[in-house]
Amino acid sequence: MAEIIFQRRKIPTVVSDPNPLIILLILSLLQSCWTQVINRAPHFVPQIGDMSQFSLSEDTPVGTPVYHLKGVDPENGPLRYSISGQYFSVDSLTGVVTLAKTLDREEQSALEVIISITDEGIANTEPNTISLRRVIPVKDVNDNPPIFHNRPYIVNISEATTVGTEIEVNPKITVTDRDEGENARIRVTCSTKEKGSDSEACATFRVDTDM
């Protein structure tokens, strides 16, 4: 019988001296990783600091502080605030927003602005700026009187007209109000308190308002 003999041999390993340039490159990369700083972006405080639920009455006086922008910086650094448009100004350090121009809901029922916060760059990083678009409703106040159109109104009526008959007025009585909602509801009456009014006419006719 043939005999098979296994012989274990130790394979020599040859290690050469590393290239100094490679060592320097590796050390440079490691140092870059160790010293890399990430400047995280700031953000507005939801609901209470980002104008998302903000509206303004049209009779607010110019110069009134109306809102306080609030932001948070993950690195606890200082923030600077800004707001676009001509209706508001903002203190860049405190975030206090002030009305800068008179409002008129009948001319502009909503204001569109861009609010922004900017942090300070750290360790040679660039500053981060976060911006939000906001549409601010302008709330109505009852500041417009109703207006009669196409005056005067002329009525021709026969003395034989029976009580309860609807009388045609030419031109048709038209009244408008530039306000909105409850402030724009109109009720037309015949009043004897106005100068030159005819008390007998007011007692004779009834005005039905459909407005």
Q: Where are the domains of the chain?
A: 43-139, 142-211
Residue 190 has pLDDT above 80, yes or no: no
More confident residue, 68 or 149: 68
Residue 48 has pLDDT above 50, yes or no: yes
Residue 24 has pLDDT above 70, yes or no: no
Strands (E), 26-102: 43-44, 56-57, 65-68, 71-72, 80-83, 88-90, 96-99
For the ranges 11-20, 167-176, 186-195, the lowest mean pLDDT is seen at 11-20
pLDDT band at residue 6 using 50, 70 and 90 as cut-offs: very low
CA distances from 121 to 50, 74, 110, 131 (A): 22, 12, 35, 17
What is the structure's pLDDT at 12?
A: 52
pLDDT band at residue 96 using 50, 70 and 90 as cut-offs: very high
State pTM to two decimals.
Answer: 0.68
In contact, 130 and 44? CB cutoff 8 Å: yes
pLDDT band at residue 199 using 50, 70 and 90 as cut-offs: low
What is the structure's pLDDT at 206?
A: 79
Residue 13 has pLDDT above 60, yes or no: no
In contact, 94 and 65? CB cutoff 8 Å: no
Give me the chain's average pLDDT, please: 83
CATH class of 43-139: mainly beta
pLDDT band at residue 3 using 50, 70 and 90 as cut-offs: very low
Rounded to an integer, what distance in angstroms lies between the CA atom of residue 5 and that of residue 3? 6
Residue 102 has pLDDT above 50, yes or no: yes
- Counting residues of the chain whose pLDDT is more than 70, the rounded percentage is 77
Mean pLDDT of 27-47: 74
In contact, 62 and 68? CB cutoff 8 Å: no
